[in-house]
Amino acid sequence: MKFYNKLPFHIGLIVFSIVADQLTKLWAVARFTNETGAQTHDYINVVGEFIRFGLVFNKGAAFSSRPQDLMPFLPPWLFFLIISIVAAVALGWFYRSIDKRDWLSRLGVVMILGGAVGNFIDRMRLQMVVDFIDCDLPDFIMTRFPTFNVADSFVTVGVALVILSPVILKKLHKQIKDEKEAEKKAKEETEKKDEQ
């Protein structure tokens, strides 16, 4: 098994994603607030105005949505704590259920988990998420893409890897499917023999 498909590498990637996310957020807050802690509302152009850095605090979930409105009796921090625990358990179960040969899906799940933990830390520490990467889009789609952070990037790339794995590793996925069908067939035949 390649090093990038082993548990130590996956744990290291989760730690790296969390550290990179938190350090860049600390930088963004320090850079885009003044001595009193108020936002300066200025920007740093990275690639002209196409990609720029500027501080935004997101008190909701993805794309500033407010899923906690579904359960207004829960304080937002408790809502996100419950959601994060459920998501972490689900991702852990999904990771364990993936065939070990499917390194791309496993890597994707690890990236999603690392990004989710990064944003979870913000919600527990600040009751909001620090976003600072601002990208332009063609105006017929939307004026600008919602501001995001390093954790969001890890989640997005991770989801893309999980979705693309059956396409990129097509032969492997077919082999895994055939093996599962053969196992199921063998099990059914064994059960029939036991009944007789």
Cβ-contact 75, 66 below 8 angstroms: no
- DSSP H helices in 48-130: 76-97, 103-126
> What values do phi and psi take at 52, rounded to 5?
-145, 160
For residue 60, with 0-12 CB atoms within 10 Å meaning exposed, 13-18 middle and 19 or more buried, which class applies?
middle
Name the DSSP class of 176: H
Residue numbers annotated as active site: 131, 152
Contact of 121 with 22, CB cutoff 8 Å: yes
